[in-house]
Chain A
Amino acid sequence: MVMSLMMPYWHFKGKQNSSGEAYSVKPADFIKRTEKFILANTGTESLLEEGLSPVVAAPPGEIYLVAKQFLWFPTLKLRAGETYRLHVSAADFQHGFSLQPMNMNFQVVPGYDHVLTIKPQAPGTYPIVCNEFCGIGHQNMIGKLIVE
């Protein structure tokens, strides 16, 4: 009984929920959006193909993250206490977004723009571990989320 009530209760009152907000998107389009987002916030062009993960400091609002064998692109720099709408999707295979050490985990599926509305709490550098098997280099797919 208690258990049946706990889930709806947290749904309305709790601060951690997975609403599953998502939109269909072609992987290529999602990559373009992310590259445009990077250009707008850093003034320099960076492409996913280059295989690097530039640091992008973005104001609160819509931010983008692509998962690709074995890279998180780009490296987001956020401000504590602000609310962001993090769009995360995959360029190739399924990946897992696992933010440590908070241990918050979400599935990343190509073709779906998964929107997570998050509010970073404390400054720090947080590893983003890929926790869905995505190929033989899967264990190396560790990115960063910077919070100031």
Chain B
Amino acid sequence: MSPIQEPFADGVSLAHRLDPRGKIVVAGLFAVSVAVAQTYATALAGLALALVCLALARLPLKKVGARLLVVNAFIFFLWFILPLTYPGDAVWQFGPFTVSRQGLLYTGLITLKSNTIVIALIALIATAPVNTLGQALQRLRLPDKLCHLLLFTYRYLHVLELEFQRLVQALKIRGFHPGTNLHTYRTYAYLAAMLLVHSCDRADSVYRAMLCRGFHGKFYSLRIFSWQPRDRVFGAVSLLALAALLYLEWRGAGPL
């Protein structure tokens, strides 16, 4: 087990150096535009844009592939259900099942759109550490409570994970071998219970440590966000690209 990592957050590429506030806004607008798209033209154009962003971020393609695999594992199940249940012209029939052309097209579109959005998010959002994102959201005037929720969720995920590692280590050094017996089940039950209790305790301690250092409900950031010329260019180009997407969608609007 390795601690929770942010494999895409470190880097010096253009996508990493852009102001996170701009990236969040653009990624949000892009995700919505692609998500509502009804035509292949829009989705394909979106995919091309997302790939451009990905190229700008110069991320390790293998790891990006691994992420996409996870997403597509979910979509994989759609391929079993949607083509069979979506009403439309039959292209293939076996027994009681009919595969419809519209169903296939629709599932394809969903697959395309999901991958496009995930690629864009990897290129724009995952290229900033979660803490920076939280601070950027705060600067974007999102309610403090929501930002804290994000930052603390992330922070305590670490706590949970470290606590889990510690417990597993404690098991290991005492020669624990999992098997199919009561001893194993009981040990796992203890592990789960202790994980919960320890994590609560640890979360308490962390909160105490924060209180001792004058925490009063507000996070200050060491990071000074600065809006550079490159951010202006990025913003302008993105707006144009989004407009183009919307134009494509408007022109090709209508059912499949």
Q: Do A and B come from one complex?
A: no
Q: Taking beta carbons and an 8 Å cutoff, which residues of B are in contact with A? A: none
